[in-house]
């Protein structure tokens, strides 16, 4: 997945500074700690579908033990809706949505959040623009009003735009010498050349300076709408109150977005290896290929196969062969990535320059071996047990539950997914896993390497490695 844009990390830093500056940390510390820890096991989570009088839907998990509310939401659109030649528009919008709204400039707006211990942040991703709100129950009305203002009346004051623009440009300049960023960005721009997925979410040093205030306002008008909105609420709030909040916060947004159509895509350049020379002590490797869509009947089998290959941490084949047996890298992993218009699996590692060729050769051999022979019965059984047992542990905070509920809505998986998931895993047979391993892993890889690896050179899809 692409690296997190600077938006949310900057806001978290600002939030922590406000915490120290104003001293309200002691007043709400216990509540916020409880917010992080109260979540019920996923298997016991009851999800309610709530629809407001205005027709806006949210998924709700009630938890009255702690007086805190978490709201997560997403607008379908994201960075793929950036205007041509102006990559980074969505990221700049996300960075500015709470930098002043309505009658309140940036300082006044953040003072409003600070006085009530409200955390509000936004982030742009390839397919979505996401928002996150956390508040004490006693301050929910003020929190909802601030969120409403941020969405329907962002100011985009020129001074704030230039401050955030400068921060993004500074981050992009640093990325030009970061081998992880270089390998990742080169992979995406090669795999999706000519497609919106090939554009960096944060934009480029050339595109970000061209984005105007008019571009930011036009983006919000086109993308922030009710019909492409997904909302989840977790915490000390009932369904009737959620209904009122939905219409109050989101009701004034346009009914429908004006999204530019985006074509389906598959990663290109499979079979290629691209070397970007960079004078750093280690070489960073990004590798990936075509994946399996989230709604594909074979997805769960692919998810299990990927866990066995490189998604299972210390238990994965890649970790065992590359790290444990040979000590070639500190870590190596891969993950399934499903987007609205593409599916892929994407992985990476970093290793010494003189051992890069050996490491990459081993990764490719393990992928080929799993594609040809599939997993063993023991590997399949262990992967199933882990994926079922760890599910609730990965949803151990209200924010994680709310984010997951939003993702379920985006993926169209149904409100009863919590109850169905274990049976879906159990239904995958060894024959399924072996068939899907070949489907997933036999299509070839695009590899990008940043550094000065010894014994490696760029290749084309037709040239031998």
Residue-range domain boundaries for the chain: 6-20+27-250, 273-451
- Among 268, 243, 214, which residue's Cα sits nearest to residue 53? 243
Measure the CA–CA gap between 436 and 34, rounded to whole angstroms.
42
CA distance 291 to 446: 13
CA angle 126, 447, 330 (to 5 degrees): 90
What mean pLDDT, rounded, does the chain reach? 90
φ, ψ (nearest 5 deg) of residue 448 = -120, 140
Q: Tell me what the mean pLDDT of segment 34-48 comes to.
A: 57
Judge whether residue 182 has pLDDT over 90.
yes
Give the pair of three-digit tokens for residue 212: 């105007």
Which class for 396: exposed (0-12), middle (13-18), buried (19 or more C-beta within 10 A)?
Answer: middle
- 88-110 tens-digit pLDDT: 999 999 999 999 999 999 999 99
CA–CA dist 92, 162 (Å, integer): 10
Q: Exposed, middle or buried: residue 280 (CB in 10 Å: 0-12, 13-18, 19+)?
A: middle
The model carries a pTM of 0.89
Same fold, 6-20+27-250 and 273-451: yes
Give the pLDDT band of residue 461 (cuts 50, 70, 90). low
Task: Give Dmax (Cα) for the chain.
Answer: 65
Other beta carbons within 10 angstroms of residue 303's beta carbon come to 22
Residue 366: CB atoms within 10 A of its CB come to 20
Q: Which fold has domain 273-451?
A: Cytochrome Bc1 Complex; Chain A, domain 1 (3.30.830)
Per-residue pLDDT of 197-248, as tens digits, reads 999 999 999 999 999 999 999 999 999 999 999 999 999 999 999 999 999 9
Exposure of 386 in the CB half-sphere (CA atoms within 13 A): 17
Considering the chain, what percentage of its residues have pLDDT values greater than 90?
84
Asked if residues 195 and 265 have their Cβ atoms less than 8 Å apart, the reply is: yes
6-20+27-250 maps to CATH 3.30.830.10: yes
Q: Is 357 strand, coil or helix?
A: helix
Calpha distance 66→305 (Å, rounded): 39
pLDDT digits 0-9 by tens, 258-295: 999 999 999 999 999 999 999 999 999 999 999 999 99
Please give the backbone phi and psi of residue 212, each rounded to the nearest 5 degrees, phi first.
Answer: -105, 170
Tracing tokens 């051992």 back to the chain, one arrives at 355
Residue-wise pLDDT for 345-370, tens only, equals 999 999 999 999 999 999 999 999 99
Report the C-alpha gap between 34 and 464 in whole angstroms. Answer: 56
């Amino acid at each position: 997945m692409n690296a997190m844009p600077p938006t949310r990390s900057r806001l978290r830093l600002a939030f922590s500074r406000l915490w120290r500056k104003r001293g309200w940390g002691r007043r709400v510390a216990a509540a916020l700690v409880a917010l992080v820890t109260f979540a019920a096991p996923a298997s016991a989570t009851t999800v309610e579908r709530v629809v407001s009088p205005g027709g806006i839907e949210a998924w709700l998990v009630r938890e009255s033990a702690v007086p805190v509310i978490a709201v997560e939401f997403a607008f379908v659109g994201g960075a793929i809706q950036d205007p041509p030649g102006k990559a980074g528009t969505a990221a700049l919008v996300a960075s500015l949505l709470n930098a002043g709204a309505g009658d309140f400039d940036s300082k006044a707006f953040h003072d409003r959040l600070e006085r009530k211990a409200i955390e509000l942040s936004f982030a742009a991703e390839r397919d979505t623009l996401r928002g996150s709100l956390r508040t004490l129950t006693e301050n929910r009305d003020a929190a909802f009003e601030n969120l409403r203002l941020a969405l329907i009346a962002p100011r985009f004051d020129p001074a704030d735009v230039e401050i955030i623009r400068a921060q993004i440009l500074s981050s992009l300049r640093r990325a030009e010498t970061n081998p992880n960023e270089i390998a990742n960005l080169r992979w995406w721009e090669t795999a999706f050349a000519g497609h919106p997925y090939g554009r960096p979410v944060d934009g480029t040093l050339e595109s970000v300076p061209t984005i105007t205030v008019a571009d930011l306002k036009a983006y919000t008008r086109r993308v922030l709408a009710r019909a492409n909105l997904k909302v989840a609420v977790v915490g000390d709030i009932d369904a009737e109150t959620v209904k009122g909040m939905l219409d109050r916060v989101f009701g004034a947004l346009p009914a429908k977005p004006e999204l530019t159509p985006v074509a389906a895509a598959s990663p290109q350049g499979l079979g290629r290896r691209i070397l970007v020379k960079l004078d750093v002590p280690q070489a960073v490797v990004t590798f990936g290929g075509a994946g399996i869509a989230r709604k594909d009947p074979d997805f769960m089998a692919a998810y299990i196969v990927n866990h066995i290959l490189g998604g299972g941490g210390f238990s994965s084949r890649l970790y065992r062969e590359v790290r444990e047996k040979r000590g070639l890298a500190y870590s190596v992993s891969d993950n399934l990535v499903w987007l609205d218009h593409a599916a892929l699996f994407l992985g990476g590692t970093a290793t010494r320059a003189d051992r890069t060729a050996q490491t990459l050769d081993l990764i490719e051999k393990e992928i080929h071996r799993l594609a040809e022979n599939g997993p063993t019965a023991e590997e399949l059984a262990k992967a199933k047990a882990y994926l079922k047992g760890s599910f609730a542990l990965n949803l151990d905070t209200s924010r994680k539950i709310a984010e997951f509920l939003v993702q379920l809505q985006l993926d169209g998986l149904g409100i009863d997914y919590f109850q169905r998931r274990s049976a879906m895993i159990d239904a995958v047979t060894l024959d399924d896993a072996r068939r899907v391993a070949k489907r997933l892993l036999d299509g070839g890889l695009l590899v990008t390497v940043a550094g000065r690896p010894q014994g490696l050179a760029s290749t084309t899809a037709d040239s031998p490695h």
